[in-house]
Amino acid sequence: MSSLRRSQISISFVCMVLGFMLTMQFRIAMDQRSSLPYQRTEELSARLLQTEKERDALQEQVAKLEEAAAKRTAEPSSQQTIQELRLRSGQVALTGPGVIVTIDDSKIASKAGDNQNLYIIHDDDLLKVINELRAAGAEAISVNGQRLVATSEIRCAGPTLSVNNVRSAPPYEIRAIGDVQTLENSLRMRGGVMETLQVWGIQLEIQASESVTVPAYKGIGTYQYARPAEEASS
């Protein structure tokens, strides 16, 4: 009887310890789920939000200052010139008829021995498309929300593409304003860009639209090294 009693006590004790450990483990698992990676994302998104707010505030400031400057240059002709220049340098968001071209990596599996690089989008693919659009008379172009201006670069940055020093991953959305028919035909041309890219299964989708909005250039427009050459010396 006493041995039975002893075993009962020991079993209860062991079961208690086991129960304790089970719930502890459960708590650890819960903690882990709500810990590091999650906190990291939260932190990053919070920082992103703050930075975006700062950016918006700064943009507002820029707009205000420009307004003030515009008021000072009351001359209508100079104001018109400024407007024209701003338009040309991509400082203004533009809208008009055009096309939206969406490019995504190939969905088909590469054949054995094939160069896998051929199945993903590279900077030169994008450059070809943009070049074609420019040749077809596109007046304003943006890639994934980045306006292309005279100093814009398009280059591979690891698995992403960098435009205006902003990286983005596929799919890429190219917006171009211009004559819809011409723009579309320039890409769909026989033996043209679209056909070449589709050989590798790269998905290229052209969507014509009556109103395409191309955002303004968000970078800074000041020159650090270049300054106007004096007319006389040249």
Partner 1 sequence: MSYALLSLAIGAVLGAFAPIAVPVAYAKLFSVALLASLDSVFGGFRAAMEEKFDNTIFISGFFTNALLAVFLVYVGDHLGIDLYYVALLAFGLRIFQNLAIIRRYFFRKHG
Give me the residues that bind partner 1 (CB under 8 A), please. 3, 6-8, 10-28, 31-32, 35
Q: Give the nearest distance from C-beta 215 to partner 1 in angstroms.
A: 44
Percent of the chain that is helix, strand, coil (3-state, to 5): 50, 20, 30
Which CA distances in Å does 29 have to 48, 66, 221? 29, 55, 51
CA 132 – CA 192 distance, rounded (Å): 9
Q: Which is nearer to partner 1, 19 or 171 (CB)?
A: 19
Q: How far apart are the first and last CA of the chain?
A: 114
Q: Which is nearer to partner 1, 27 or 55 (CB)?
A: 27
Q: Which is nearer to partner 1, 27 or 47 (CB)?
A: 27
Q: Which is nearer to partner 1, 3 or 77 (CB)?
A: 3
Which residue(s) pair with 96 in the sheet? 212
Q: Give the nearest distance from C-beta 1 to partner 1 in angstroms.
A: 13
Q: Give the nearest distance from C-beta 19 to partner 1 in angstroms.
A: 3
Q: Which is nearer to partner 1, 23 or 116 (CB)?
A: 23
Token pair 């056909």: residue: 195
CA 158 – CA 2 distance, rounded (Å): 73
Q: Give the nearest distance from C-beta 94 to partner 1 in angstroms.
A: 52
User: 82 in helix, strand or coil?
Assistant: helix
Q: Give the nearest distance from C-beta 147 to partner 1 in angstroms.
A: 46
Q: Which is nearer to partner 1, 20 or 171 (CB)?
A: 20
Whether residue 91 contacts residue 216, with contact meaning beta carbons closer than 8 Å, is answered with: yes
Measured torsion, CA atoms of residues 63, 66, 71, 76, in degrees rounded to the nearest 10: -110
Q: Give the nearest distance from C-beta 16 to partner 1 in angstroms.
A: 4
Upper half-sphere CA count for residue 144 (Cβ side, 13 Å): 17
